[in-house]
Amino acid sequence: MRKQMIGFVSFILFLFMVCFIPDLQAQDRMSGRTFSTRSAVMAQHGMACTSQPLATQTAIDVLKRGGTAVDAAIAANAVLGVTEPAMNGMGGDLFAIVYDAKTHKLYGLNASGRSPYSLTLDELRKKGLDFIPLDGPLTVSVPGCVDGWFELHKKFGKLPMQQILQYAIQYARNGFPVADEAAFIWNQNKEKLSKYPNTASVYLPEGKPLARGELFKNAQLANTLEKIANQGRDAFYKGDIARAIEAYLKKNGGYLSYKDFEDHSSNWVEPVSTTYRGFRVWEIPPNGQGIAVLQMLNILEGFDFSKLQYGSPEHIHLFVEAKKLAFEDRAKYYADPQFAKVPVDWLISKKYADQRRTLINSNHASANFTAGDANLSGGETVYLTVADDEGNMVSLIQSNYSAFGSGMAPDGLGFVLQNRGRLFNLEEGHNNSYAPHKRPFHTIIPAFVTKNDQPYMSFGVMGGGFQPLGQVEVLMNMIDFGMNEQEAGDAPRIDHQGSSEPTGEKKKGVGTIYLESGFSYETIRTLINMGHNVETGQPGSFGGYQCIRFDPVHKIYFGASDPRKDGMAAGY
Per-residue model confidence as pLDDT tens digits over 507-553:
878 999 999 999 999 999 999 999 999 998 775 578 899 999 999 99
pLDDT tens profile 377-408 = 555 688 999 999 999 999 999 999 999 999 99
| Nearest of 308, 300, 384 to residue 48 by alpha carbon | 384
CATH (domain of 314): 1.10.246.130
DSSP 435-460: -TT-PPPB----EEEEETTEEEEEEE
Longest dimension (CA), the chain: 96
Q: Pick the catalytic residue from 50, 68, 224, 381.
A: 381
Q: What's the length of the chain?
A: 572
Identify whether residues 296 and 401 lie together within a single domain: no
Identify whether residues 220 and 128 lie together within a single domain: yes
Q: Which residues contact 463 (CB under 8 A, 6 or more apart)?
A: 378, 379, 381, 470, 541, 542, 543, 544
Q: Which residues contact 191 (CB under 8 A, 6 or more apart)?
A: none
What is the phi/psi pair of residue 383, to 5°? Answer: -120, 140
pLDDT of the chain, 572 residues: tens digit per residue: 444 444 433 433 333 333 433 343 345 566 678 888 889 999 999 999 999 999 999 999 999 999 999 999 999 999 999 999 999 999 999 999 999 999 999 999 999 999 999 999 999 999 999 999 999 999 999 999 999 999 999 999 999 999 999 999 999 999 999 999 899 999 999 999 999 999 999 999 989 999 999 999 999 999 999 999 999 999 999 999 999 999 999 999 999 999 999 999 999 999 999 999 999 999 999 999 999 999 999 999 999 999 999 999 999 999 999 999 999 999 999 999 999 999 999 999 999 999 999 999 999 998 877 776 554 455 568 899 999 999 999 999 999 999 999 999 999 999 999 999 999 999 999 999 999 999 999 999 999 999 999 999 999 999 888 999 999 999 999 999 999 999 999 999 999 999 988 888 888 789 999 999 999 999 999 999 999 999 987 755 788 999 999 999 999 999 999 999 999 999 99
Identify whether residues 355 and 389 lie together within a single domain: no
- Helices (H) and strands (E) counted in the chain, each on its own, are 20, 19
pTM reported for the whole predicted model: 0.92
* HSE value, Cβ hemisphere, 13 Å, CA-based, for 251: 13
DSSP state of 505: P
- 441 found inside a domain: no
Contact status, residue 212 vs residue 179, Cβ threshold 8 Å: yes
- 443 found inside a domain: no
Identify whether residues 119 and 213 lie together within a single domain: yes
- 392 found inside a domain: yes
What does the alpha-carbon distance between residue 320 and residue 366 come to, in Å, rounded to a whole number? 10
Q: Do the bridges between strand 380-387 and strand 47-50 make them parallel or antiparallel, or are there none, so unpaired?
A: antiparallel
How many domains, in total, are found in the chain?
2
Mean of pLDDT over the chain: 91
Identify whether residues 361 and 262 lie together within a single domain: no
What does the alpha-carbon distance between residue 525 and residue 12 come to, in Å, rounded to a whole number? 37
What does the alpha-carbon distance between residue 277 and residue 85 come to, in Å, rounded to a whole number? 39
How many CB atoms within 10 Å of residue 201? 14
DSSP 474-511: HHHHHHTT---HHHHHHS--EEEE-S--TTSPPP-TT-
What does the alpha-carbon distance between residue 214 and residue 166 come to, in Å, rounded to a whole number? 22
Last residue of a domain, one of 358, 393, 423: 423
What does the alpha-carbon distance between residue 232 and residue 238 come to, in Å, rounded to a whole number? 10
- 560 found inside a domain: no
408 CA to centre of own chain: 22
| Nearest of 443, 441, 430, 439 to residue 377 by alpha carbon | 443
- 284 found inside a domain: no
What does the alpha-carbon distance between residue 293 and residue 291 come to, in Å, rounded to a whole number? 5
- Does the annotation mark 536 as catalytic? no
Identify whether residues 367 and 231 lie together within a single domain: no
Q: Which residues contact 164 (CB under 8 A, 6 or more apart)?
A: 62, 67, 71, 74, 75, 78, 153, 157, 229
Identify whether residues 213 and 260 lie together within a single domain: yes
What is the phi/psi pair of residue 374, to 5°? Answer: -100, 15
Identify whether residues 249 and 294 lie together within a single domain: no
- 285 found inside a domain: no
pLDDT value for 380: 63
What is the phi/psi pair of residue 435, to 5°? Answer: -150, 150
The CA-to-CA distance between both ends of the chain, in Å, stands at: 62
Which H or E element spans position 4?
Answer: helix 2-26
What is the phi/psi pair of residue 375, to 5°? Answer: 60, 65
Beta bridge partner(s), residue 90: none
What does the alpha-carbon distance between residue 453 and residue 106 come to, in Å, rounded to a whole number? 11
pLDDT tens profile 91-101 = 999 999 999 99
- 15 found inside a domain: no
Which residue range forms the structural domain that includes residue 160?
Answer: 44-268+380-423
Identify whether residues 304 and 372 lie together within a single domain: yes
| Nearest of 338, 337, 357 to residue 295 by alpha carbon | 357
Last residue of a domain, one of 364, 393, 423: 423
Beta bridge partner(s), residue 48: 386, 570
Identify whether residues 368 and 413 lie together within a single domain: no
Beta bridge partner(s), residue 442: 288
pLDDT value for 17: 37
Beta bridge partner(s), residue 142: none
- 279 found inside a domain: no
Identify whether residues 82 and 149 lie together within a single domain: yes
Identify whether residues 146 and 87 lie together within a single domain: yes
